[in-house]
Structure 1
Amino acid sequence: MFVSLFLAAAAAGHRPPRVAPMPDRDTAAWWQATQQLSGDDMEGRDVGSPGYDRAAQLVAAAFAKAGLKPAGENGSFFQTLKLTDVTIDKEGTHLAIDGRPLRFLQDLTLRASSDLPAELGGTIAFRGYCGREAMGDVKGKIILCYGTRKPGFPTPAERTEAARAGGAIGVLTIADPSFTVEPPRWPAAYARTVTFEDAKPVAVDRMLLGTVNVDALANMIEGSGRDPAAIVTEGSAGRPLPSFDAGRFTARIALSHRAIRSDNVLAMLPGTDPVLKDEVIVLSAHLDGYGFGEPVDGDALYNGAFDDAAYVALLERLAERRAGKGYRRSVLFAAFTGEEKGLLGATYFTSRPTVPIRAIVADINLDQLRPIFPLDLLTVHALNDSTLGDAVRDVAARQKIAVRIDPEPERNLLTRADHWPFIRKGIPATGFVFGYRPGSPAEKIYRGWYDTRYHRPQDDLTQPIDWAAAGKFNRFFYDLTAQVADAPDRPRWKPGSAYAKP
Structure 2
Amino acid sequence: MTPRLPTLLVAGLLLAATAAPAQKRRPAPASPAKNAEAAIKEADLRRDLFALAGDKYRGREAGTLDELRASSWLAEQMRAIGMQPAGDDGTYFQWFQLRRTRLTPASTLSIGGRALRPGHEAVVVAPVDAQVKAKLVWVGTGTPAEVAKAKIKGKAVAVQLSGEPTNGISYRRYLFGKLREQAAELAKAGAVAVVFVSDDKAQAIYEHWSHIFERGRYGLPADESLKIVAGQVPVVWLPKTEAEALSKSGQEFTADLRAETFLYPSVNIVARQPGTDAQLKSQYVLFSTHQDHDGVRAPVAGDSIYNGADDNATGCAALLAIMRAFRQQPARRSALFVYHGAEERGLLGSRYFSNKPTVPAGSIVAVLNAEMMGRNAPDSAALLGSTPPHLNSSDLVKTALTANQAGPRFKLDTEWDKASHPEGWYFRSDHLPYARLGIPAVMYTSLLHADYHTPQDEPARIDYAKLLGMTRWMYLTGWAVANRVAPPAREPGFRLER
State the TM bucket, normalised to the shorter chain.
Answer: 0.7 to 0.9
The amino acid of 1:98's aligned partner reads G
- Equivalent of 1:492, from 454, 473, 489? 489
**1:193 paired to 2:227:** no
Post-superposition Cα deviations, 1:413-451, rounded to whole Å, max 9, x if no partner, equal 11111111112222221213326xxxxxxxxxx6xx43x
Q: How many residues align?
A: 439
Q: 1:482 to 1:130 in 2, by over 3 A?
A: farther
Post-superposition Cα deviations, 1:167-200, rounded to whole Å, max 9, x if no partner, equal 5445556678659998961551633222223434
- Equivalent of 1:34, from 21, 39, 49? 49
Distance (Å, rounded) in 1 between the aligned partners of 2:142 and 2:275: 54
SS in 2 for 1:267: strand
Distance (Å, rounded) in 2 between the aligned partners of 1:158 and 1:339: 25
**Structure 2 match to 1:150:** 166
**Structure 2 match to 1:455:** 453
- Equivalent of 1:390, from 375, 391, 398? 398
**Structure 1 match to 2:414:** 405
CA RMSD of aligned residues (A): 3.6
SS in 2 for 1:354: coil
Post-superposition Cα deviations, 1:213-262, rounded to whole Å, max 9, x if no partner, equal 562462464236xxxxxxxxxxxxxxxxxxxxx85543344656543111
The amino acid of 1:466's aligned partner reads D
Post-superposition Cα deviations, 1:391-416, rounded to whole Å, max 9, x if no partner, equal 22222233322224334622111111
Distance (Å, rounded) in 1 between the aligned partners of 2:330 and 2:146: 60
Distance (Å, rounded) in 1 between the aligned partners of 2:135 and 2:432: 38
- Following superposition, the deviation at residue 372 of structure 1 comes to 4.1
The answer to whether the 8 Å contact 1:281/1:363 transfers is yes
Describe how 1:164-179 pairs up with structure 2 within 5 A. 164-171=187-194
- Following superposition, the deviation at residue 119 of structure 1 comes to 5.6
SS in 1 for 2:63: coil
The answer to whether the 8 Å contact 1:286/1:308 transfers is yes
Distance (Å, rounded) in 2 between the aligned partners of 1:50 and 1:392: 37
**Structure 2 match to 1:79:** 94
**Structure 1 match to 2:312:** 308
**Structure 1 match to 2:287:** 283
**1:56 paired to 2:71:** yes
TM-score, reference length from structure 1: 0.75
Q: 1:273 to 1:461 in 2, by over 3 A?
A: same
Describe how 1:247-326 pairs up with structure 2 within 5 A. 248-253=252-257, 257-323=261-327, 325-326=329-330
Post-superposition Cα deviations, 1:261-307, rounded to whole Å, max 9, x if no partner, equal 11111112222223332322221111111112122122222222211
**Structure 1 match to 2:61:** 46
- Following superposition, the deviation at residue 340 of structure 1 comes to 0.8
SS in 1 for 2:409: coil
Distance (Å, rounded) in 1 between the aligned partners of 2:147 and 2:281: 58
**1:351 paired to 2:376:** no
Distance (Å, rounded) in 2 between the aligned partners of 1:310 and 1:205: 40
The answer to whether the 8 Å contact 1:34/1:310 transfers is yes
The answer to whether the 8 Å contact 2:121/2:238 transfers is yes
**Structure 2: 5+ residue runs without aligned partners?**
1-38, 169-173
- Following superposition, the deviation at residue 79 of structure 1 comes to 0.9
- Following superposition, the deviation at residue 467 of structure 1 comes to 2.9
**Structure 1: 5+ residue runs without aligned partners?**
1-23, 225-245, 436-445
**Structure 2 match to 1:482:** 479
Post-superposition Cα deviations, 1:1-47, rounded to whole Å, max 9, x if no partner, equal xxxxxxxxxxxxxxxxxxxxxxx981111121112212222122112
- Equivalent of 2:109, from 95, 111, 114? 95
TM-score, reference length from structure 2: 0.76
The answer to whether the 8 Å contact 1:364/1:431 transfers is yes
Distance (Å, rounded) in 1 between the aligned partners of 2:434 and 2:245: 42
Q: 1:488 to 1:306 in 2, by over 3 A?
A: same
The answer to whether the 8 Å contact 1:371/1:466 transfers is yes
Q: 1:79 to 1:177 in 2, by over 3 A?
A: farther
- Following superposition, the deviation at residue 151 of structure 1 comes to 1.0
- Equivalent of 1:422, from 434, 449, 470? 434
Q: Quick one: percent identity of the two aligned structures?
A: 26
Q: 1:203 to 1:263 in 2, by over 3 A?
A: closer
Distance (Å, rounded) in 2 between the aligned partners of 1:258 and 1:285: 26
Distance (Å, rounded) in 2 between the aligned partners of 1:419 and 1:175: 34
**1:433 paired to 2:445:** yes
The amino acid of 2:74's aligned partner reads V
The answer to whether the 8 Å contact 1:308/1:367 transfers is yes
